[in-house]
A and B are shown apart, each in its own frame.
Chain A
Amino acid sequence: MARNIIQKIWDEHVVVSKEGFPDVFAIDLHLIHEVTSPQAFEMLREKGLKFHAVGRAVATVDHNVSTAVNRKVATDAGSQKQIMMLRNNCTEFGVKLLDMDSGKQGIVHVIGPELGLTQPGITVVCGDSHTSTHGAFGALAFGIGTTEVGHVMATGCLLQEKPKTMRVNFVGNMGKGVTAKDLILKLIAQIGVAGARGHVIEYCGEVMSRLSMEERMTICNMSIECGARAGLISPDEVTFEYLQGRECVPKGKKWVEAIQYWSSLVSDKDAEYDSVVEMNIAEMAPMVTWGFNPEQGIEITGEIPRDADIQALDYVRLKAGQRIEEVPVDYVFIGSCTNARLSDLREAADIFRGRKVANGVIVYVVPGSEEVRAAAIREGLDKVFVDAGTDFRNPGCSMCLAMNEDKVPEGKRCASTSNRNFVGRQGKGAITHLMSPIMAAAAAVTGKITDVRKLIK
């Protein structure tokens, strides 16, 4: 029977399928961070269980670390305790920890791909909903809660029900100023925050083959924002080229074997899906969210809908029918697992080069990893950011979820490259507008939400 790539990866990982029980499903790569792991390690101790496969797990600190240039661990006692616990737990159970100043620390979804850990055909979990990022490599990757983090630690497996599958076809080519972030924001606006609930998405369309791995990661990253269990893209030459030579990727004979297996991970021609969505991207403009959930997004040239949700309008202090362009911003955040890779920083730097941050606007540029930061410095991007008047910081999740001291103050408005504009997400009472890195950079230099196409030659 013809199968799609999701079904192929699923079938490969079913360990036990027994009537009356969910499937025992194998997890290949387990990424661990400080916030959603302490209670899971504690569960291993309470039950006297061993860590099943430390060779398939890697830990880092990202959610609550300080991103200050001369940083010390974390600023508050609770975060410091969590980081210390992760260090102790990794030592006790023998899990590799990529700690601060190792040169490899960073947002868990940035470092996995960067190190070559994320590979086609594998299953990846992390106690973080943006684990779907790794789907860019043709991996089945999804976020889990802490109890399940414990299950994977103890057995390398989870109990899972088979997901439904959805094919998303992007039709057409991206115009000037339109990025991968705009494609996914447009999809979420079209199908809604629960549009793909219960499904794993395969992103398709001719445009996919032309996207870089970084762009593919941005798309897969936000799969959860339309409710999907995961989102992935079939691996191809672009994937293999990205992986070749990375630290955790095999060489020689093993590499040849890998390519052979990975090349089989494409959907069969007649494969079926539980649902199919078409989205035309040819004529679209860059996207911006106006409200308090990610489906409340419009094109930069558009107006807030006349029938917009009153609670949302009230929270973001905007009016129905109002144009989104020229709404003034107080803060700009360029970072997060959605948009903090080197290509994102390069594109933002192209906007900042020769320009200054508008008066009164505070701009954080937070690289996704120590490696991204180092690479940006090697290219001189740090100088571009600093000359423009931004704050070029150390890596971490930072202002995306505002667990550390990087917060947007109450009532202030932020142009953000992150993934969620939920109530209070970037700080109590903070207002968030999601957009691409170049759109955020354009907002930074003009002081208001701006159509970046006006700044591109």
Chain B
Amino acid sequence: MQEIIKSKIVPLPRADIDTDLIIPADFLTTTSKKGLGEHVFARLRIMEANFPFNLEKYHGARILVTKKNFGCGSSREHAAWALRDWGIEIVIAPSFADIFFNNAMKNGILPIVLEEKIVNEIFAAGDCEIEVNVAAQKVILPSGEVANFQIDPYRKECLLKGMDDLDYLVSRMAEIERFDKRHSKNMFFDTTVL
């Protein structure tokens, strides 16, 4: 991910958007992570002609701004894949569902939590451009004001350097194997009988 992302926004002023809405089950038979962008929000794009993802003016936007509890429901990582494939790299909302938050981070999407008041100000500004400085953890709002956001230092490094959790996990393999031996006394299920 680039340190600074400056882009027009896609406004989606709707709370509790679930991952079934982001990518319906019809598209989960894919065995790839690519190509889901054209189906992102498929149901809403059919139901509402003026749904933002249908409108030419939002094409090329890299920042999605939405309301609370974005990405609730199903754990399908396809939701993050679909948004990323469409071009979204930043999602700004007052809160995110836990599983989506994790899935986003692992796919080059930064979920940014900003106060509801600030998010509403962005909506009030209408079609606008926002600058996100990932390295400095700052959002330059349409008004020119600056909002700071939190990001776990490890996650930030992963995003900016394209690092992978798996590299870190694999680097701890010796400790994992020692743990497995110690911990096995408290595990009583046996899959070998199946």
- Given the complex of chains A and B, what is the CA–CA distance between A194 and B97 in angstroms? 7
A154 touches B166 (CB 8 A): yes
How far in angstroms is the closest Cβ of chain B from A108?
Answer: 12
A58 touches B191 (CB 8 A): yes
Residue of A whose beta carbon sits closest to that of B104: A145
How far in angstroms is the closest Cβ of chain A from B186?
Answer: 6
A36 touches B191 (CB 8 A): no
A154 touches B32 (CB 8 A): no
How far in angstroms is the closest Cβ of chain A from B115?
Answer: 16
How far in angstroms is the closest Cβ of chain A from B187?
Answer: 5
Given the known interface contacts A81-B31, A258-B188, the answer about A423 and B169 at a Cβ–Cβ threshold of 8 Å is no
Stretch of A15-23, A174-182, A274-282, A385-393 that contacts chain B: A15-23
How far in angstroms is the closest Cβ of chain B from A405?
Answer: 11
Is the C-beta of A93 less than 8 angstroms from some C-beta in chain B? no
- Given the complex of chains A and B, what is the CA–CA distance between A21 and B153 in angstroms? 8
Interface string of B20-63 (1 = CB under 8 A from A): 11001110111111000000000110110000000000000000
Instruction: Point out the residue from A20, A43, A194, A293 that lies within 8 Å of B68, measured CB to CB.
Output: A194
- Given the complex of chains A and B, what is the CA–CA distance between A293 and B97 in angstroms? 14
Residues of A within 8 A of B187 (CB): 28, 56, 119, 122
Given the known interface contacts A64-B29, A79-B29, A420-B73, the answer about A96 and B186 at a Cβ–Cβ threshold of 8 Å is no
Residues of B within 8 A of A396 (CB): none
Residues of A within 8 A of B43 (CB): 423-424, 428
Q: How many residues of B contact A (CB 8 A)?
A: 59
Is the C-beta of B117 less than 8 angstroms from some C-beta in chain A? no
- Given the complex of chains A and B, what is the CA–CA distance between A56 and B176 in angstroms? 14
- Given the complex of chains A and B, what is the CA–CA distance between A21 and B109 in angstroms? 19
Is the C-beta of B16 less than 8 angstroms from some C-beta in chain A? yes
How far in angstroms is the closest Cβ of chain B from A357?
Answer: 26
- Given the complex of chains A and B, what is the CA–CA distance between A183 and B187 in angstroms? 31
- Given the complex of chains A and B, what is the CA–CA distance between A236 and B30 in angstroms? 42
Interface string of B69-102 (1 = CB under 8 A from A): 1001111110010000000000000010111001
Given the known interface contacts A36-B75, A194-B68, the answer about A151 and B16 at a Cβ–Cβ threshold of 8 Å is no
- Interface size range of chain A in the complex: 35 or more
- Given the complex of chains A and B, what is the CA–CA distance between A63 and B74 in angstroms? 13
How far in angstroms is the closest Cβ of chain A from B41?
Answer: 10
Residues of A within 8 A of B30 (CB): 78
Residues of A within 8 A of B106 (CB): 145, 147-148
Is the C-beta of B124 less than 8 angstroms from some C-beta in chain A? no
Stretch of A210-218, A244-252, A339-347 that contacts chain B: A244-252
B69 touches A193 (CB 8 A): yes
How far in angstroms is the closest Cβ of chain A from B31?
Answer: 4
The B-contacting residues of A in range 237-265, CB under 8 angstroms, are 247-250, 254, 257-258, 261
9 A–B contacts, CB within 8 A, in A order:
A24-B176, A36-B76, A118-B189, A129-B99, A145-B106, A147-B107, A155-B170, A247-B193, A248-B190
The 7 A-B residue pairs with the shortest CB-CB distance, nearest first, are A78-B29, A145-B77, A143-B75, A145-B103, A194-B69, A38-B31, A129-B75
